[in-house]
Amino acid sequence: MMKLLLVVCVAVVSLTSGAVVRPTNRSSLSVGYITNGDRLLHRQYLNKQPVPNAVQYQDFIFRGNATTRIAALTATEIGYSQNAYPWITSGGVGYNYATVRVQSARGLGYYYVIDVWGR
């Protein structure tokens, strides 16, 4: 009886640890180069909590004025990696606007800081 109980306990523990999602890939975005005269034009944090079985996404949109030139753009994951993906869907380096889409892995969230550098 004691032995059976022990086996059940071990099975439960291993099932639980097997279900823990442990992403190993940090997915950040970094394009362009910051040179003298460039400054941080915009910083924004994008954060979503995990939703079971859902893929979540969000568009970050930056619009400068007529003379704005984006020199560099970064989307850096904060904290532990959740295997989300940031990518540029329009504009970017050399443009005065940029759209960055951030998409979560299924069942996970994300936490990014997006920086737009330029002049």
Selected range binding ligand NAG among 3-11, 47-55, 64-72, 86-94, rule: CB under 6 A: 64-72
Q: Is 67 in the site for ligand NAG (CB under 6 A)?
A: yes
Q: Which of 25, 35, 47, 89 binds ligand NAG (CB under 6 A)?
A: 25
Smallest distance from ligand NAG to CB 118, Å: 6
Residue 67 is encoded by which pair of tokens? 């003379």
Contacts to ligand NAG by CB under 6 A: 24-25, 41, 64-65, 67-68, 118-119
